[in-house]
Structure 1
Amino acid sequence: MPDGAATTTGFTRIMLKISGEALMGDQGFGLNPPTVERIAKQVKTIHDLGVEVCMVIGGGNIFRGLQGSAQGMERTTADYMGMLATVMNALAMQSALEALKINTRVISAIPMDQVCEPYIRRRAVRHLEKKRVCIFAAGTGNPFFTTDTAATLRASEMKCQAIFKGTQVDGIYDSDPKTNPDAKRYDRVTYDEVLAKNLKVMDASAIALARDNALPIIVFSLSAPGGLAGIVQGEGKYTMVTQ
């Protein structure tokens, strides 16, 4: 880590996973530029601390493959449409980060050379070593896999030390705290407990992949005071999923 880095948790390379819905603000759909900018500023704060940042952004604010399939669309086609939505979100985040003078690369699992790079692991690692933010788009490039699984896969390939999952709540609860005031909050939980209790953190494939690679998952609120930088510096509320 470079001189002046101020992290206290020891994280030097992380995966930040956020949903597409996190980018739409109060609109209910699409992209809200001020919201994208606010998240980009959070990424900048940890980048300035010397942390190497990977990102995966969902596409649910534009199109969700599973919902399209439920409405009669062929599942594979719907999933590919969802992957393309993640590329749109990645490009929006790239624009916001580069406006903040952060060098950023969008790397797509589906080749589209005019707008982003194809995924080549060694090249992506080199971007991180050069302190560029890498936004991995188009999921794994395969239907039937979520962006949660894509984030876990890319985090494992990039040798990230943790996945930071930004949500609307400050950790993992046994039920929705927005509708149940008695919901129990966990400070720490194991992968097996998440699977056994069906806690809504990530899909089962992502949790199993994280468990197999001993990759911690940190669930936190994107809107909490201090946000991402606070968590990296050992402050704030969050839930950690570990062995």
Structure 2
Amino acid sequence: MEPRADTQRPPAYRRVLLKLSGEVLAGPDSPISMEVTKKIARQVAEVYGSGIQIAIVIGGGNIWRGTTGLKSGLDRPTADYMGMLATIIDGLALQGALEGLGIPTRVQTAVEVRNVAEPFIRRRAIRHLEKGRIVIFVGGTGNPFFSTDTTAALRASEIEAEVILKGTKVDGIYDSDPKIHPEAKRFTQLRYLDAIQKRLSVMDSTAFSLCMDNNIPIVVFNVFTPGNLRAAIFGEPIGTRVCA
């Protein structure tokens, strides 16, 4: 797919990092639904070529969570490494969906798997972005004890992304779980420190702190609503914005 110019108005950002949890790829009967994955890919395709560079960090919770391993008796590093391998599977699925739409991609991994993905090299990742390729970062940070949210904050800092767009199943950050508490209040904007002090579970404190230190805003939005990713990239008021 050739990048196409947007004739309406320029996007709000030059380079973005899209953070997706593994759960957004899951179907009712499978940890990875290619039908659902293709819907996510079509949202990315909608904004591809609008004058922006897109990197993606994908989680692996649809296949394996480190906390699951801890409950079954595994030690934390082993459980976390299994989770890193799960993100590689999700990244390859997303790559397949994007390339099926004609969008050039590269998968870069922090856990070396030579036959299926490039090792993460910062300068190479930036060069891919400059050439119009979408870069999917997998394998977490390559270290246990760090979440893929922290990976997103780290990679965004390394590639100098202007914003982290966290695509979830809800339309922002709430003061309590809206599924349990119908009266839950959605925040339209939060400061980094407020998000950390309130211990909001949408991202871990390490990720919030890293974004705060590098002044990278975070926009949390529902990625399943058609047009939401485009709205976030074009700076429309959507979801919850966490910033200074």
**Shorter-chain TM-score above 0.5:** yes
Whichever residue aligns with residue 203 of structure 2, its letter is M
Match of 1:13 among 15, 20, 26: 15
For residues 206 and 31 of structure 1, the distance between their equivalents in structure 2, rounded to whole angstroms, comes to 26
Q: Is the 8 A contact 2:15 2:162 kept in 1?
A: yes
Give the direction of change, closer, same or farther, for the CA distance of 1:75–1:109 in structure 2 (3 Å limit). same
**How many Å apart are 1:26 and its aligned residue?**
2.7
- In structure 2, the residue matched to 1:32 is 33
- In structure 1, the residue matched to 2:200 is 199
- In structure 2, the residue matched to 1:45 is 46
- In structure 1, the residue matched to 2:76 is 75
Q: SS of the residue aligned with 1:48?
A: coil
For residues 104 and 12 of structure 1, the distance between their equivalents in structure 2, rounded to whole angstroms, comes to 18
Whichever residue aligns with residue 19 of structure 1, its letter is S
- In structure 2, the residue matched to 1:216 is 217
Gap regions ≥5 residues in structure 2 = none
Whichever residue aligns with residue 15 of structure 1, its letter is L
Q: How do 1:58-207 residues align onto structure 2 when only pairs under 5 Å count?
A: 58-207=59-208
**How many Å apart are 1:71 and its aligned residue?**
1.7
Query: What does the per-residue CA deviation read over 1:46-67, in whole Å, with 9 as the maximum and x for residues that have no partner?
Result: 1131221100111011111122
Q: Is the 8 A contact 1:7 1:232 kept in 2?
A: no
For residues 84 and 93 of structure 2, the distance between their equivalents in structure 1, rounded to whole angstroms, comes to 15
For residues 82 and 8 of structure 2, the distance between their equivalents in structure 1, rounded to whole angstroms, comes to 40
TM-score by length of 2: 0.95
**How many Å apart are 1:3 and its aligned residue?**
5.0
TM-score by length of 1: 0.95
- In structure 1, the residue matched to 2:236 is 235
% identity of equivalent residues: 49
Pick which of 60-69 and 131-140 moved more.
60-69
Query: What does the per-residue CA deviation read over 1:183-237, in whole Å, with 9 as the maximum and x for residues that have no partner?
Result: 0111100000001111122001000000000000000001224120122223363
Query: What does the per-residue CA deviation read over 1:130-172, in whole Å, with 9 as the maximum and x for residues that have no partner?
Result: 0100000000000010000001100110100000001111111
Q: SS of the residue aligned with 2:48?
A: helix
Pairs aligned (count): 242
Q: Is the 8 A contact 1:57 1:89 kept in 2?
A: yes
**How many Å apart are 1:105 and its aligned residue?**
0.3
